[in-house]
Copies of this chain bind each other. A is one copy, B any other.
Amino acid sequence: MNGAESLVHTLLASGVETCFANPGTSEMHFVAALDRIPGMRCVLGLFEGVVSGAADGYARMTGRPAATLLHCGPGLANALANLHNARRAESPLVNIIGDQASYHRPLDAPLTADTEGWARPVSAWVRTAGSAARVGADAAEAVAAARGAPGQIASLILPADTAWSEGGVVGAPLAVTPPAPVAPQTLREIARLLRSGEPALLLLSGAALREAPLLAAHRIAMATGARLLARMSNARIARGAGRLPIERVAYPVEQALAQMAGLRHLILVGAPPPVAFFAYPDKPGALQPVDCAVHVLSRPEQDGAAALAALADELGAPAVALPDAGPRPEPARGPIGPEAVARTLAALLPDGAIVVDESVSFGRGLFANSQGAAPHDWLQLTGGAIGAGMPLAIGAAIGAPGRRVIGLQADGSAMYTLQALWTQARERLDVTTIILSNRQYAILLGELANVGANPGRTALDMLDLGRPDLDWPRLAGGMGVEAARAASMEQLADLLAASLRRSGPFLIELML
C-alpha cells in the first residue's frame, strides 16, 4: 500500500466520504488510489474557489468535513478566499494539498511555492507529510482537528513522494472532541443578570441558530424581556414557519448602533462582540454602547445550544408559543424590488429549502421579509470574500440531497466563481440560482457616496459592470445550465416555480 492509498483508506475510515477536487500532476497517485478504492464521492470543480466553497457548503449542511484536493501552492491560493469564508463559518474541512516531492522542492521548479505559508492563515492545523508511513496517521489527525469544536480547517500537504512510496499505514480514526459544556456557575450568573430587568441582548451564533436552541432563546426572551439577535453573517439559520424569526445585526453602522442603543448587558452565545464590517471616519468599530457590559454564555468551542436550553430551565422559563407568522403570502406582482422578491420567495420556497444568500446590497431586505416561508435554512457569506454563493450551493445540494437549494446571488459576486455552474450541471444538482442583475458593484457606489465623492468617469469605470452587459443565460448555457431572464415579478414567480418542479440546476437572471 502506498501513501496515497493509506490516505484514502484513512479518510474513509474517519468518515470523510466526499472529495471536492481539482487535481494536478502531483496528485495523480491520489487520483489513482481513489480509482482503486471505492467509497469516496469525487466532485470536480473547474477552479479551486469552487472546490473550497463547495466543501464549506457541505460542512454547513452535514456538520462533517469533506476533503478538498488541491494542486500545489497556487491551487491552494485559488482556494483561499472561500477557505477564509469557511474559517469564519467554523466549517470543518480537510484540505489535501499535493505538492512537489520532498527531494524536488529544493530545486525550485516553477510551481514550487510557500504552500505552508499560504495555508497557515486559514488553517487551525497544518502539516506537511514527512513519509508514506506517516500519511495515514497524519490524515487521521487532520480529520480530528477539523471535527473539533467549533469546526475548523486542517491542511495536510502531501509531497508527491509520500503519496507514491510504499509503506503506507491506514490511520485509526481518532476521537473527536465534543463541544465543552458551560459551567453551572456561568448559567447562574447569566440568569441572575437577566432577572435584573436591565436591558439585555443575547447575540447568537453557530449551532445556537438551529430550530431547538432558537426556541430555548425565545423562552428566555419571553421570561426576562431580553432581546435576541443573530450575528450579521451566519453559517446557517433555521427559519420559516414554526421557527423563531430572528433579526441579525445590521450592516450599516448607524442601524447596528440603533439596534444596540440603551443596552446594559450583551450576552454572547458562541459569538464574538459585534463589530462594524469596515471602519469609517468618525464612526465606532465596536457596536455595543460603551457602558454596556459584555458577558459570555458560551464560547465558540462550547455547546451553545445546550447552554440556551439549560439557561431557560435555570430561569424556569415556560414554553411559549411562537409569534404568529400569518398566512403564507402570494407571489408579488408589480415593480421589482427587495420586498417584492422576498415576498415571492416566502410564497414559493419549498419545505426544507436551503437558501444561499450572497445577495450583498440588494439582499438586505430579503431576509427580514421572507420569514413567512415554509421551514428552511439560510446560509450567508460569512467572511465577506465574495464568490462564495454558487460554490456553497454545490456543497449544500450534495450534503443535503432531496432539499432544493435557492441561490440569491449578486451579479458581481457571481462572476468570481461562475465556474460553479458547470459542476452544478455535471452533478445535476437541484439548485435554482437567482442572479440579482444590477450591473454594478452597487454596494461600492453606496460606499463611494459615503466618503463624500460623486462618481466620476474613473470611478464609474471601476464600479460599473455594464459596457458590455453580462448575459447570464448565455454564461449559464455555456456551462450546461438551463437559464432564462425575468424582467418582471410575474416572470420571476413563474420561472422560480417551474424550476422547483424540475430536477437539476436552473438559473434566473432577474433584471433589476
Contacts and interface: CB of A to CB of B under 8 A. Distances in A.
Interface of A: 21, 23-26, 28-29, 31-32, 34-36, 40, 42-44, 46-47, 49, 69, 72-75, 77-78, 80-81, 84, 88, 100-101, 103-104, 107-111, 113-114, 117-118, 120-122, 160-161, 164, 232-233, 272-273, 275-279, 281, 285-286, 382-385, 387, 412, 415-416, 418-419, 422, 425-426, 443-444, 447-448, 450-453, 455-459, 461-463, 465, 467-475, 477-480
A275 B121 contact: no
Contacts of A474: 474-475, 477-478
A382 B113 CA distance: 13
**How often does this chain occur in the complex, in copies?**
2
Nearest to A446: B25
Given A43-B461, A69-B462, A111-B277, 11 more contacts: A23-B444, A28-B448, A42-B461, A44-B461, A73-B84, A109-B275, A109-B276, A109-B285, A161-B281, A426-B467, A475-B479
A456 B415 CA distance: 33
Contacts of A31: 444, 448, 453, 458-459, 462-463
Contacts of A467: 426
Contacts of A103: 279, 285
A465 to B, nearest CB: 7
B462 A385 contact: no
B468 A426 contact: yes
A89 to B, nearest CB: 10
A415 to B, nearest CB: 4
A398 to B, nearest CB: 13
Contact of A121 (B117, B471, B479): B117
A26 B278 contact: yes
B104 A84 contact: no
A151 B7 CA distance: 41
Complex A-B, nearest 8 residue pairs according to Cβ-Cβ distance, in ascending order: A468-B480, A74-B385, A474-B478, A104-B279, A114-B121, A101-B279, A475-B478, A77-B80
Given A279-B161, A478-B474, A80 B74 contact: yes
A451 B32 contact: yes
Contacts of A40: 458
A117 B455 CA distance: 33
Nearest to A49: B78
A88 B26 CA distance: 20
Given A28-B444, A469-B480, A23 B462 contact: yes
A34 B458 contact: yes
A393 to B, nearest CB: 17
Contacts of A443: 25
B444 A160 contact: no
A103 B282 CA distance: 12
A385 B121 CA distance: 21
Contact of A468 (B81, B120, B384, B479): B479
Contacts of A88: 110
